[in-house]
C-alpha cells in the first residue's frame, strides 16, 4: 500500500459516479428497486448452487489445513450455503477496509474475488509470530508489509485449492489481477449485478469467528451451469460417503449398558422391617442379561478379568437398531 490516505466509502462512491448514504448500513438495502419478472432467469444459476455447496464442503477442509500453520491450531471451518445476491447488498455489509484479492479465472469470464476481513489478517499475523491472535487495538486503515505478504500468500493458496476443487467441473487457471481494500472495488461487477457468494466461517480455538468470502459473477457460471447441474444430480457415491460419516459419528456415542445379577422378591412387611445386618438370599442365574435402555441385547456369564468382575457375552439376543 502507498502512504497516501485511504479514501472513504463516500469518496469512492463519488469517484464512481453514484451516491451512497454517509452512514454505513448494517444490512442489505431495503430501498425498492424496479424488477421485471422473467428478465433475470437466464442469469440465475440456481441449478449450480447445490453443486457449489458440495464443492465448498471439500473446500472447508482444505481451508482449515491452510490456516492451521498460521495459528498453530486446528480451526473449525464451516461452509455456508452458496447464495445469489446483488453486489450492492453484499457491499453494504462489509467494513470500509478489507483485504480483497482479485483473480481472473480463464476460460471463465469475469473476476473471482476473495475477501478477508482486515482484523482477521492482523490476528493471523499476531498468532503466527507467537501472539494470542487478539484483535488489533485500533481500527485499521492500511496493512503493514507483513500483513500484505501473509494476505497475499493466504489468498493465492486459497484460490489454488479452489482451482483444484473445480477441476472436475471446469479446469480454471486463476491469475492475480490486483489487490484492493474497498468492498466497492471487487471487480466482480456493478453494484446492481448479481454475484454468487461462497462464505466460509473460520473459528480458531478460543477466538471469535471470521468470515472468508469468495465471490463469482453470476453470469460467469452460465457457461458451466450444465456441468454443475449434472454434478449436483449425480450422487457420485455421496450416499455411501454420507452413510460412512454417519456410522463413524454414531460409533463415538456413549450409551449406558448394565446387567442385573439377581431380582429378589420381598413382601411389603419385610421391606418395612429391613435393618442394617439383614441378609437377603439371592440366586444368580447361569446367564444374566446385558441391558441397554431397558432392552436385553445379550446374555452372558459372570466371571473375572484383570481382578475385576466381568461379563462374558455368550449370546446376542438383539442387534442395536433392529
Longest dimension (CA), the chain: 95
Closest-CA residue to 72 (of 201, 207, 200): 207
Task: Measure the CA–CA gap between 127 and 12, rounded to whole angstroms.
Answer: 33
- CB within 8 A of 129, min separation 6: which ones? none
In this prediction, residue 233 carries a pLDDT of 53
Please give the domain boundaries of the chain with CATH numbers for all domains.
Answer: 11-22+42-248 (3.40.1550.10), 255-316 (2.30.330.10)
Per-residue pLDDT of the chain (322 residues), as tens digits, is: 444 555 555 665 565 555 444 444 444 455 665 544 444 444 445 566 777 888 888 899 899 999 999 988 889 999 999 888 888 899 889 988 999 999 988 888 888 999 999 999 999 998 888 888 777 777 778 899 999 999 999 999 999 998 888 877 778 888 999 999 998 888 787 878 888 899 999 998 878 899 999 998 887 777 676 767 665 555 544 556 556 666 666 676 777 888 888 888 888 888 888 899 888 888 888 888 888 877 888 888 888 888 888 888 888 887 665 5
Question: What's the whole-model pTM score?
Answer: 0.58
Alpha helix (H) residue ranges in the chain? 9-15, 49-71, 87-93, 118-128, 145-166, 225-233, 238-251, 268-272
Contact 6, 180 (CB under 8 A): no
Q: Which residue has the cell 457375552?
A: 313
Closest-CA residue to 91 (of 210, 200, 189): 189
B/e letters for 157-168, b = 16+ CB within 10 Å, e = fewer, are ebbebbbebbee
Contact 181, 98 (CB under 8 A): yes
Task: Measure the CA–CA gap between 71 and 64, rounded to whole angstroms.
Answer: 11
H helices, E strands: number in the chain:
8, 11
Task: Measure the CA–CA gap between 73 and 198, rounded to whole angstroms.
Answer: 24
Q: List, for residues 50-84, the tens digit of each pLDDT value.
A: 778 888 888 998 999 999 999 888 899 999 998 88
Can you read off the three cell numbers belonging to residue 126?
499476531
Backbone angles phi, psi at 4, to 5 degrees: -70, 150
Amino acid at each position: 500500500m502507498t502512504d497516501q490516505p485511504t479514501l472513504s466509502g463516500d469518496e469512492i462512491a463519488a469517484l464512481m459516479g453514484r451516491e451512497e448514504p454517509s452512514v454505513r448500513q448494517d444490512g442489505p438495502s431495503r430501498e425498492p428497486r424496479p424488477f421485471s419478472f422473467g428478465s433475470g432467469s437466464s442469469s440465475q444459476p440456481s441449478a449450480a448452487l447445490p453443486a457449489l455447496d458440495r464443492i465448498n464442503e471439500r473446500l472447508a477442509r482444505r481451508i482449515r489445513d491452510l490456516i492451521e500453520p498460521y495459528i498453530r491450531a486446528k480451526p473449525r471451518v464451516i461452509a455456508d450455503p452458496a447464495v445469489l445476491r446483488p453486489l450492492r447488498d453484499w457491499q453494504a455489509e462489509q467494513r470500509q477496509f478489507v483485504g480483497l484479492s482479485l483473480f481472473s479465472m480463464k476460460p471463465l469470464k469475469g473476476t473471482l474475488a476473495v475477501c478477508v476481513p482486515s482484523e482477521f489478517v492482523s490476528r493471523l499475523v499476531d498468532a503466527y509470530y507467537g501472539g494470542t491472535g487478539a484483535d488489533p487495538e485500533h481500527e485499521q486503515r492500511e496493512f503493514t508489509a507483513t500483513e500484505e505478504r501473509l494476505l497475499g500468500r493466504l489468498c493465492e493458496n486459497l484460490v489454488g485449492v479452489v482451482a483444484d476443487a473445480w477441476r472436475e467441473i471446469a479446469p480454471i487457471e486463476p491469475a492475480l489481477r490486483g489487490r484492493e481494500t474497498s468492498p466497492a472495488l471487487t471487480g466482480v461487477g456493478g453494484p446492481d449485478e448479481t454475484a454468487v457468494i461462497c462464505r466460509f466461517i473460520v473459528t480458531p480455538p478460543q477466538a471469535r469467528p471470521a468470515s472468508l468470502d469468495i465471490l463469482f459473477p453470476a453470469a460467469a457460471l452460465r457457461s458451466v451451469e450444465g456441468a454443475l447441474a449434472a454434478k449436483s444430480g449425480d450422487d457420485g457415491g455421496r450416499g455411501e460417503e454420507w452413510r460412512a460419516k454417519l456410522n463413524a459419528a454414531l460409533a463415538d456415542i456413549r450409551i449406558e449398558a448394565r446387567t442385573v445379577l439377581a431380582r429378589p422378591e420381598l413382601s411389603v412387611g419385610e421391606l418395612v422391617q429391613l435393618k442394617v445386618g439383614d441378609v437377603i438370599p439371592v440366586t444368580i442365574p447361569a446367564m444374566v442379561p446385558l441391558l441397554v435402555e431397558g432392552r436385553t441385547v445379550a446374555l452372558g456369564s459372570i466371571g473375572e478379568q484383570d481382578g475385576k468382575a466381568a461379563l462374558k457375552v455368550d449370546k446376542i439376543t438383539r442387534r442395536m437398531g433392529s
